[in-house]
Amino acid sequence: MYDALTTRYTFACPARGESHVCLSSFRELERLPGAAHPAVYRVRFSCACGDDHDGLVAHDELDWAPLGLDAGRFLNLMTARLEPAAAELGDQALRRLEAGEWPWSFFCYPEERARPVFPSAFAVLAPGDGSVGIAVRCPACGRTSVNLVSRPHVDLPFFNDPEVGVVAHVFAEDAIHTLDSFCAELYSTSFDGRRLDLQ
């Protein structure tokens, strides 16, 4: 379902049969009740056919697969052989984690600090003019903050913008369910720049 070499998820598309989308093409993520190992998420994503579709993704595919731990094989042009990528990508991810880097991060407004996070904490993503507005549930305090980040900040593990936009607002528990007010806040100019210094 996830290809670590292209950083794309594969979902079914009624018009094209199959769609390959990056994480920044997701629009909504919701953990479904029931299954816990692994947890299952309903994902609404923007497809190249022009419509939004729903798909299902398991927790391990959402949070761990982008680190390349289950990556397939690639054609090494130097040796002209197919070689496994998982060992090298996994080792690189481990070294970065040991160095104190985190694959994804966001700025928690209520706590006034940067926090490490996984994509399963994302609630809503909205594309902007070359950027992405993202509502994230803080794993520490449980409240929702909205950040404005670049697409690589969302799509590429370990790519963190040096500065992000932050909506200076504490959202109510049901804010994600009232998408109209969320989108109005997201497209407003009320973002503050905050540094994402995780060390």
Query: In tens digits, what is the pLDDT along the chain, a chain of 199 residues?
Result: 888 878 899 999 999 899 999 999 999 999 999 877 789 999 999 999 999 999 999 999 999 989 888 877 888 888 988 888 888 888 888 899 899 889 999 999 999 999 999 999 999 999 888 899 999 999 998 888 999 999 999 999 999 898 899 988 777 666 555 555 656 666 555 555 555 554 4
Q: Where are the domains of the chain?
A: 1-99, 104-195
Distance CA 68, CA 50 (A): 29
Three-state DSSP at 186 gives helix
What is the C-alpha to C-alpha distance for residues 42 and 53, in angstroms, rounded to an integer? Answer: 10
Give the bridge partners for 135, in sequence order: 124, 146
Q: What is the pTM of this model?
A: 0.80
> DSSP for 46-79?
E-TTSSEEEEEEEHHHHHTGGGTTT--EEEETTT
Query: How many residues are recorded in the chain?
Result: 199
* Whether 90 contacts 72, CB under 8 Å: no
